[in-house]
């Protein structure tokens, strides 16, 4: 199989530092100023290591440096460079890589990045070449991404065996609005992906019905009343957690992570660094998160500030998952993808999810 391999090396850098993305030169400079670490190359290598362990035979064509060749070499693969990116690389390099992949008539595009990378590839290849995304960005609303880097390899293996594809939505979010707490997701088109729903995520589902709002109000009030004095609460993004804060009489950044203690806001839109500093100074803490609708992710999508280091310091037993019954009905399974494989494995099993006043449901975590 001939595979076009491309990595967006800056994708995901804004997550842990609370920037919700890295679109734009100014935001990238701010991410670097906040000591943001590169995420996408590391996750690309995780996928490549799994491909190697599966013994899949592939001919890679790729981009120079961190846009592909560096990751291939670090995992023991050979590749042929068909595009030399600029320094620094940019969206134009992704577009040119896609054009090169078309000219090379690759069988599949494997890319590491976020929704913006998927959108750039779609702009050039449309549905001419199937693709698999290694999740490396912050938002990842599109259905072209595998559930984890390892699942990307498994998806490719299933494609090698079946050769069948299906259409998947490519979504992207206006990052400027996203940072202001407004979620504006837009459908940009449909790509072809391996026809295997076991390893590929669905697009994010949102809810607007009045009944769901009523459920959210009930749940928010119940969880708010259960907050204990002396316990620091690290609360993830979402409309459900916003309802909790509202019943506490506190501000909540809809798409950020906020920290509360004894009826006060300790930090708004907190970064990983801020959360770790607060944990050093405070005692017991809880993490409160809600799954992304339909996808089921509770950690690793849009809340990278709640990093493996944060989770280990708080303790897996102190993670509280909340969801309205309607959202949970369409989310049969919870998922984690923190980037720390050992931690993810330790979080798997069955988890009690708070769904309403004194109501819980036991849900599998995969």
Residue 25: pLDDT band (50, 70, 90) is low
Per-residue pLDDT at 326 exceeds 90: no
Model-level pTM?
0.73
* Structure confidence by residue, pLDDT tens digits, 251-260: 999 889 999 9
Q: What is the rounded average pLDDT of the residues 341-359? A: 92
Strands (E), the chain: 2-7, 59-63, 79-83, 108-113, 131-135, 165-173, 185-194, 232-235, 258-261, 264-267, 285-289, 297-299, 319-322, 335-336, 349-356, 359-365
Predicted pLDDT at 198: 86
- Domains of the chain in start order, with CATH, are 2-194 (3.40.50), 210-365 (3.40.50)
Q: What is the rounded average pLDDT of the residues 7-26? A: 66
Per-residue pLDDT at 213 exceeds 80: no
Per-residue pLDDT at 35 exceeds 70: no
Q: What is the rounded average pLDDT of the residues 220-246? A: 93
Predicted pLDDT at 59: 97
* Structure confidence by residue, pLDDT tens digits, 111-149: 999 998 999 999 999 999 999 999 988 767 889 999 999
DSSP string, 203-242: PP-----HHHHHHHHHHHHHHHHHPPTT-EEEE-SSHHHH
Per-residue pLDDT at 77 exceeds 90: yes
How many other CB atoms are there within 10 angstroms of residue 128's CB atom?
A: 14
DSSP string, 287-342: EEE-PPTTT-EEESSS-TTS-HHHHHHH-GGGEEEE--HHHHHT--SBEE--S-HH
* Structure confidence by residue, pLDDT tens digits, 284-304: 999 999 998 778 999 998 899
């Amino acid at each position: 199989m001939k595979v076009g391999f491309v990595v967006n090396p800056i994708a995901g850098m804004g997550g842990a530092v609370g920037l919700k993305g890295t679109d734009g030169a100014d935001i990238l400079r701010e991410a670097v100023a906040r000591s943001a670490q590169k995420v996408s190359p590391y996750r690309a290598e995780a996928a490549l290591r799994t491909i190697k362990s599966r013994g899949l035979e592939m001919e890679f064509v790729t981009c120079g440096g961190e846009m592909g060749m560096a990751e291939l070499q670090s995992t023991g693969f050979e590749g042929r460079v068909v595009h030399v990116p600029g320094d620094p690389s940019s969206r134009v390099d992704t577009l040119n890589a896609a054009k090169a992949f078309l000219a090379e008539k690759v069988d599949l595009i494997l890319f590491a990045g976020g929704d913006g990378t998927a959108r750039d590839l779609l702009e050039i290849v449309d549905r001419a070449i199937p693709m698999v995304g290694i999740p490396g960005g912050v938002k990842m609303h599109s259905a072209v991404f595998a559930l984890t880097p390892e699942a990307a390899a498994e998806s490719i293996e299933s494609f090698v065996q079946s050769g069948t594809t299906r259409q998947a939505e490519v979504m992207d979010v206006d990052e400027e609005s996203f940072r202001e707490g407004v979620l504006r997701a837009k459908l940009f088109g449909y790509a072809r992906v391996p026809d295997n729903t076991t390893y590929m995520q669905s697009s994010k589902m949102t809810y607007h019905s009045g009944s769901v709002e009523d459920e959210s109000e009930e749940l928010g009030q119940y969880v708010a009343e259960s907050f204990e004095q002396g316990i620091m609460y690290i609360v993830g993004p979402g409309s459900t957690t916003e309802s909790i804060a509202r019943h506490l009489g506190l501000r909540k950044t809809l798409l950020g992570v906020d920290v509360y203690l004894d009826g006060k806001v300790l930090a708004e839109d907190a970064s990983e660094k801020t959360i770790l500093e607060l944990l050093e100074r405070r005692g017991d803490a809880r993490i409160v998160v809600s799954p992304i609708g339909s996808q089921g992710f509770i950690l690793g999508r849009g809340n990278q500030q709640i990093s493996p280091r944060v989770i280990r310091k708080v303790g897996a037993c102190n993670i509280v998952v909340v969801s309205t019954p309607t959202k949970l009905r369409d989310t049969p399974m919870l998922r984690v993808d923190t980037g720390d494989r050992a931690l993810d494995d330790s979080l798997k099993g069955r988890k009690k999810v708070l769904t309403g006043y004194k109501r819980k449901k036991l849900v599998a975590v995969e």
